[in-house]
């Protein structure tokens, strides 16, 4: 029979940290800590597949109850207490623990096993009746919310009334007699909500909690979290049942959360918070503002010294920054959890670089530790602190970055605004896991309560969202949807700015300045004064040494090219020539060409465009000195260059071109297409109007010749767009070769060049051997159009339903964001294989939006492509993702 339950305790565990698929991250790490001698309360883990089985059938898997009962017996023996006994009762926590850490997304229940009899035994055992009744009311509230579905605010209202009656500010000050009365009220509330009394049988309580944890795998916040981080649905979550240790026994007890390094900056210092006379949920929920971990050395020097030794041991053992949960029970330290800590990207690059220097990890492992998509955050702007803006309030800088948006006070409202493309800041007294979808939608999070390890702080850091927490000056009024500081009132819809680096909060939409990394690149900050830039630069240097794929950029101007080169681009994979025609006199000359009555008229207009294009290409070649530049010939349909409708712009254009309004209208109408994406565009224009291809080829080769004489090394690659047949390619290549030869004779400068095509139609992919045989020296997969033509989807219109498809599981991901490997990917695989079967030296790359997406880059690496090309700001991401693909 396959084992379903795994025990840990007494210095031995059934499992190790390698068993995460079976025991979940929490269970595997509890087992590992037990095995290496860390003080962990005894307990057992119900394996992850049991969750999958339960959710599939709705029933507890066969044989599991017997294994759990046997594990309870071992737990009683290990702890010296009895589950359900009135004297010396064993209480347990029931907690989730998925294979991939999902902090706060699923359910936890503490103090399970308490009832009207065992609470008396706990009071006698501890000698502290207040502690016993405080534990009981906590258990009733957690169980009532998580298992029985009663609303949290109903319990909180009753608790708030007790604070008011006793004239105290915190729950820890409510006297025992009022806690006893509160227990009676809580049980009445549960009976009113469920129609039956609270279960007094500890075993009934236990199975109710286990099933609730399993069900929490499918609650909205957990599903949203998995979707956000691409976490698989199977095999579900493990359930960890652990003997309770108590931080709410008095002044010699407490609980805390700590990180072995600063999760915001990456600085090598022990970092955390704790509360005296509290249980763990008090810290992460932000219910009370905690004390800094350094204060623990004064209050409890013995447990603090032990904690310092434990955190050093765990970081060296797991070779990563650890996020710890601990409890001190009457001066004795217990570790409740360790996991790799969530961190900002600035902290991630510093920690990874520093751990290489400390000999803990290799350079390759350091590269793997930094997630490619995170790098984007290092390039984001920050608040310009030199403008003299006065903050409205200051809280704890939980997650760096800067963001402005409309203040909103509800997660659903935040999501609604974000769907309309509006920028919002989620403002809450404190966040709960149920606010996760609002945090995803918001540009930043602002809370009045909570510490640096609160739910809002941890989740925001993990997502790279700006966050300020524990801003005590804020008076959040969620009912009236406003927040006030003194006489200043900010209502929903008013703009606020949040600075996650300083903790400052401002009224209005404040200006920003470049980030540290960008300031170094712009020459505004010396590199030796930029620790994040130094670590970023080293990590990317190691990544460049590990990767095989080259990384180019999509750039249409010299400025874009220069910036991309600063980001590490190794050439241009897509230069869109049509973008050069939309400015100033160029658009007029372009329109003159389109409206010409004959070839002679078109050539006169093209003669005006030639020097403009030549100048642009010279600038780009100079910016990319020594690197390849792929230039795509004119691609969009001609109607895109003409005004739509008959407004003032059309009137002025007709006069400029010497046409009547009727003549211009006739031209516009003659170019109108039912489906322009599949219409008269790309190479079809060059074949119909060969003079367009001639002009563009001449501009390319004259520019190359001119800069060559100035000492610039050029590697032009001319790309023919939207080829469906080898004959189309042959037609355009003949023009390109003829013009190249003419320019070489005229200038005396022979420039080596490549001619290739963009593969963006399924037929081109399927007949790749024929196209390569017709002389194509490179293929560049235009995956934006290839996705559209393969799936029969319009990228502009699919946004109406593709999100629903993803939500319903019809599509695993949006195919315009992540490459459709099973469809588009098979066409790419076929085209690469067929093309190289004819031309072994065929250069192959990708230049769609997928060229900057890590999962798509991994596919490109696996298929043997030579390069990916993406927008300038995605170049660092692509460099790191290409290294990840090679290292994996």
Could you give the CA distance from residue 569 to residue 248 in angstroms, rounded to a whole number? 57
Catalytic position from the list 847, 850, 860, 861: 847
Could you give the CA distance from residue 446 to residue 497 in angstroms, rounded to a whole number? 10
In which element (H, E) is residue 242 found?
A: strand 237-243
Q: Decide: 605 and 586 in contact? Cβ < 8 Å.
A: no
Could you give the CA distance from residue 851 to residue 841 in angstroms, rounded to a whole number? 21
Q: Which of 681, 750, 673, 757 is nearest to 709 (CA)?
A: 750
Beta bridge partners of 109: 94
Q: Which residues contact 617 (CB under 8 A, 6 or more apart)?
A: 631, 699, 700, 703, 704
Q: Decide: 843 and 756 in contact? Cβ < 8 Å.
A: yes
Burial class from Cβ neighbours inside 10 Å (0-12, 13-18, 19+) for residue 662 reads exposed
Give one DSSP letter per residue of 496-516, joined into a string: EEEETTT-EEEES---EE--H
For 469, the 3-state DSSP assignment is strand
Helical residues (DSSP H) of 217-254, grouped into ranges? 220-229
Vertex 517 angle, CA 513 and 522, to 5°: 70
Parallel, antiparallel or unpaired: strands 332-340 and 495-499 = unpaired
Distant-in-sequence contacts of 660-663, Cβ < 8 A, 24+ apart: 663/595
Could you give the CA distance from residue 371 to residue 379 in angstroms, rounded to a whole number? 15
CA distances 763 to 684, 770, 773, Å, are 15, 11, 15
Catalytic position from the list 455, 850, 861, 884: 455
Pull the structure tokens for residue 27. Answer: 């269970």
Q: Which residues contact 555 (CB under 8 A, 6 or more apart)?
A: 561, 564, 569, 572, 574, 575, 620, 872
Q: Which of 647, 689, 641 is nearest to 668 (CA)?
A: 641
Could you give the CA distance from residue 176 to residue 165 in angstroms, rounded to a whole number? 13
Can 466 be counted among the known catalytic residues? no
**Residue 151: other Cβ atoms inside 10 A:** 12
For 870, the 3-state DSSP assignment is strand
Q: Decide: 465 and 444 in contact? Cβ < 8 Å.
A: yes
Could you give the CA distance from residue 640 to residue 635 in angstroms, rounded to a whole number? 11
Q: Decide: 355 and 319 in contact? Cβ < 8 Å.
A: yes
Can 850 be counted among the known catalytic residues? no
First to last CA, the chain: 35
Q: Dihedral (C-alpha) 643, 645, 647, 650: value to the nearest 10 degrees?
A: 40
Per-residue b/e over 31-44, b at no fewer than 16 CB within 10 Å?
bbbbbeebebbbbb
| Active-site residue set | 455, 847
């Amino acid at each position: 029979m396959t084992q379903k339950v795994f025990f840990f305790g007494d210095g031995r565990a059934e499992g190790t940290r390698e068993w995460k698929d079976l025991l979940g991250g929490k269970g595997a790490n509890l087992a590992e800590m037990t095995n290496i001698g860390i003080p962990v309360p005894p307990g057992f883990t119900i394996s992850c597949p049991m969750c999958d089985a339960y959710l599939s059938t709705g029933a507890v898997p066969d044989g599991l109850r017997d294994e759990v009962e046997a594990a309870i017996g071992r737990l009683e023996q290990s702890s010296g207490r009895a589950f359900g006994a009135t004297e010396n009762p064993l209480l347990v926590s029931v907690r989730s623990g998925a294979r991939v850490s999902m902090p706060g997304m699923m359910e936890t229940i503490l103090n399970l096993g308490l009832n009207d009899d065992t609470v008396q035994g706990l009071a006698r055992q501890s000698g502290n009746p207040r502690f016993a009744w405080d534990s009981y009311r906590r258990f009733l509230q957690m169980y009532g919310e998580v298992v029985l579905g009663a609303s949290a605010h109903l319990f909180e209202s009753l608790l708030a009334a007790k604070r008011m009656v006793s004239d105290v500010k915190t729950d820890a000050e409510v006297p025992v007699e009022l806690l006893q009365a509160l227990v009676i009220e809580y049980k009445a509330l549960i009976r009113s909500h469920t129609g039956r009394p609270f279960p007094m049988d500890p075993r009934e309580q236990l199975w109710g909690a286990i099933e609730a944890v399993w069900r929490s795998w499918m609650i909205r916040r957990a599903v949203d979290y998995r979707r956000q981080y691409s976490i698989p649905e199977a095999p579900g979550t493990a359930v960890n049942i652990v003997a309770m240790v108590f931080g709410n026994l008095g002044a010699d007890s407490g609980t805390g959360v700590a990180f072995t390094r600063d999760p915001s900056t990456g600085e090598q210092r022990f970092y955390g918070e704790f509360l005296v006379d509290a249980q763990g949920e008090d810290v992460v929920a932000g219910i009370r503002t905690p004390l800094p971990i350094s204060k623990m050395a004064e209050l409890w020097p013995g447990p603090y010294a032990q904690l310092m030794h434990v955190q050093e041991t765990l970081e060296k053992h797991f070779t990563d920054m650890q996020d710890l949960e601990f409890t001190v029970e009457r001066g004795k330290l217990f570790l409740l959890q360790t996991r790799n800590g969530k961190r900002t990207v600035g902290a991630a690059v510093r920690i990874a670089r520093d751990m290489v220097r400390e000999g803990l990890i290799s350079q390759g492992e350091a590269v793997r530790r930094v997630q490619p998509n995170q790098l984007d955050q290092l390039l984001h702007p920050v608040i310009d602190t030199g403008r003299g803006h006065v903050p409205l309030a200051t809280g704890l800088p939980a997650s760096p970055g800067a963001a402005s948006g409309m203040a909103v006070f509800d997660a659903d409202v935040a999501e609604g605004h974000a769907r309309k493309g509006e920028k919002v800041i989620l403002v809450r007294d404190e966040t709960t896991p149920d606010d996760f979808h609002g945090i995803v939608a918001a540009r930043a999070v602002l809370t009045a309560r909570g510490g640096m390890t609160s739910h809002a702080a941890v989740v925001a850091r993990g997502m790279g969202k700006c966050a300020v927490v524990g801003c005590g000056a804020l008076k959040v009024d969620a009912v009236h949807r406003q927040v006030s500081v003194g006489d200043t009132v900010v209502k929903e819809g008013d703009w606020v700015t949040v600075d996650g680096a300083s903790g400052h909060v401002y009224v209005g939409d404040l200006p920003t300045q470049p980030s540290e990394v960008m300031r170094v690149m712009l020459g505004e900050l010396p590199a030796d004064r930029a620790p994040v830039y130094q670590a970023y630069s080293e990590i990317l240097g190691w990544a460049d040494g590990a990767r095989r794929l080259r990384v180019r950029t999509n750039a249409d101007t010299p400025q874009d090219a220069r910036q991309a080169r600063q980001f590490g681009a190794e050439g241009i994979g897509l230069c869109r020539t049509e973008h050069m025609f939309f400015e100033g006199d160029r658009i007029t000359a372009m329109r003159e060409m389109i409206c010409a009555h004959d070839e002679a008229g078109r050539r006169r207009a093209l003669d005006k465009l030639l020097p403009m294009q030549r100048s642009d290409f010279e600038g780009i070649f100079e910016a990319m000195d020594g690197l390849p530049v792929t230039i795509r010939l004119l691609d969009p349909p001609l109607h895109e260059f003409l005004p739509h409708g008959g407004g003032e712009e059309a009137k002025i254009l007709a006069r400029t071109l010497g046409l009547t309004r009727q003549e211009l209208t006739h031209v516009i109408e003659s170019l109108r297409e039912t489906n322009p994406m599949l219409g008269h565009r790309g190479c079809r224009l060059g074949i119909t109007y060969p003079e367009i291809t001639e002009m563009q080829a001449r501009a390319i080769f004259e520019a190359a010749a001119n800069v060559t004489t100035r000492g610039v090394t050029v590697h032009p690659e001319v790309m023919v767009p939207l080829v469906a047949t080898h004959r189309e390619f042959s037609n355009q290549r003949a023009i390109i070769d003829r013009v190249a030869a003419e320019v070489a004779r005229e200038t005396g400068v022979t420039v080596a060049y490549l001619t290739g095509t963009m593969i963006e139609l399924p037929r081109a992919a399927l007949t790749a051997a024929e196209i390569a045989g017709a002389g194509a020296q490179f293929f560049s997969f235009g995956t934006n159009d290839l996705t559209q033509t393969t799936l029969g989807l319009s990228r502009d219109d699919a946004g109406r339903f593709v999100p629903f498809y993803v939500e319903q599981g019809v599509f695993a991901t949006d195919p315009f964001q992540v490459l459709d490997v099973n469809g588009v990917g098979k066409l790419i695989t076929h085209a690469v294989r067929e093309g190289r079967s004819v031309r072994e030296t065929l250069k192959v790359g990708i230049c769609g939006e997928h060229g900057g997406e890590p999962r798509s880059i991994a596919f490109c690496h696996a298929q043997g492509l030579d390069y990916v090309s993406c927008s300038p700001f995605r170049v660092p991401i692509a460099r790191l993702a290409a290294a990840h693909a090679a290292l994996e």
